[in-house]
Amino acid sequence: MKPKNTCNQKQMRTMNSTAVLCALVNQGPTSRCSLSSKLNLDGTTITHLVRGLLKKKLIETSGFSTTTGRPRELLKLNVDAREAIGLLLDPNHIVGKVVNLGGEVKFIESVQISDNDSKDTVLSKMRMICERLLQKTYKSRLLGMGLAYHGIVNKNDILEQSAGLSVLEGINIRHFFENLYNLPFALQDTSRCLAIAEHWFGAAKGIEDFVLIQLDYGIGCTLVVDGKPLCGISNSAGEIGHTVVVPEGKVCRCGMRGCLETVASLSSIQRSFVEKYPELGAVTHEHIAELVSKGHTGAVETITEAGKYVGIALSHLISVLNPGHLIFCGRLFSMGPVLKDAIKSSLKSHTVFSSYNSLRIIDGQLEPDSAAIGAAMLILEKTFSNLA
């Protein structure tokens, strides 16, 4: 039996200061009186907390309320008080963003990578992106760097598996960055970073518990509990793309047969199109989306089948965990209602009625590359907790 958690006065002040900052992120400009009511803290406590945050320049005044009664001074987050660099290492490109406390992207750099790039080439391109962004930041504001990666990184920070980036497997990513830059560094997989970004600034804002499914070149899934992504004992929680949905199906890159990624990832769908319709040549997801919108029979059937398998895989998760919200993210959802309807129909058919009936399915609000914002938030959210 675990001992009860207790906290001293200093820790309580930190928790309450964090609550004030989070309230300003979620609500925008707010009066001291509203903060007191919202956080259930007395006016004297709010006054002391606000004074400390103003001194640290983490918040600032923002005029006065225009509602009836006595005008009240409004407070808002000083979004430019701190910045971090967020990186997305994608099979097709590297994106770097300088992000402030409000999730605003101040600067962005990107570079394409290809299947033919060597390990040294990919690492060189990452360095180039970092150095370009470092030249644009204020050193006094910069807290560190975060990385969103595709694949599985073990507890020693070594990239073990990565879809489309096998040349980097075996690299200790943390050592690579910390040896180059004397800055705090954090990393998480892409779907978790996307979930973090959606939680702070997108569809999951104000939602503490949800499941996010990302359908892209690979397939990722993140379970968020109490506002934090679940990682699992080996840091591989959420690998729904490697659950078997077609026994004795195609061989997956992980070595198993019939994984969800072999039938429902963007990569597998593109390969399927080349096999079925060689006359179309190499197809992009935009091209497939266009064919679906025009009612191309083969395109509609392929996307519908993919949606069916996604629904089957998700049904186990929803029936077991009974989450309140499911968020759709990723490039594959550009296929429009055909994919979403297929997933929902399959999910409903294979999920415990009470679990499905209480589930709210919503679209992500941020673009796929917003995983870089989530990567930056791995660093920036420490501002909200290190306030003592």
Q: CA 291, CA 326: separation in Å to the nearest integer? A: 27
Q: What dotted CATH number matches 9-77?
A: 1.10.10.10
- Left, alpha or beta for 6 (phi > 0: left; psi -120 to 50: alpha)? beta
CA torsion angle 325 202 365 132 (round to 10): -140
Q: Which CATH class is domain 204-365?
A: alpha beta
Residue partners of 68: CB distance under 8 A and separation at least 6: none
| Same fold flag, 9-77 and 81-196+370-384 | no
| Residue pair 233/217 in contact by the 8 Å Cβ criterion | no
What are the pLDDT tens digits along the chain (388 aa)?
444 555 677 778 888 888 888 888 888 899 988 899 888 988 889 899 989 899 888 888 888 877 766 788 899 999 999 999 999 998 889 999 999 999 999 999 999 998 888 999 999 999 999 999 999 998 889 999 999 998 888 888 888 877 678 888 888 989 999 889 989 999 999 999 999 999 999 999 989 999 999 999 889 999 999 999 999 998 889 999 999 999 989 998 888 999 999 999 998 999 888 888 888 777 888 889 999 999 989 899 999 999 999 999 999 999 999 999 999 999 999 888 999 999 999 999 999 999 999 999 999 999 989 999 999 999 998 877 765 4
From 374, 378, 373, 368, select the one nearest 174 (Cα to Cα). 378
Domain ranges within the chain, ordered by starting residue:
9-77, 81-196+370-384, 204-365
Give 325-381 pLDDT, tens digit per residue. Answer: 999 999 999 888 999 999 999 999 999 999 999 999 999 999 989 999 999 999 998
Instruction: Determine the distance from the C-alpha atom of residue 208 to the mean position of all C-alpha atoms in its chain, rounded to a whole number.
Output: 14
Give 141-167 pLDDT, tens digit per residue. Answer: 999 999 999 888 888 888 887 767 888
Strands (E), 50-126: 59-64, 73-77, 83-89, 93-100, 105-112
From 218, 246, 227, select the one nearest 152 (Cα to Cα). 218
Domain 81-196+370-384 has CATH 2.40.110.10: no
Q: CA 158, CA 173: separation in Å to the nearest integer? A: 6
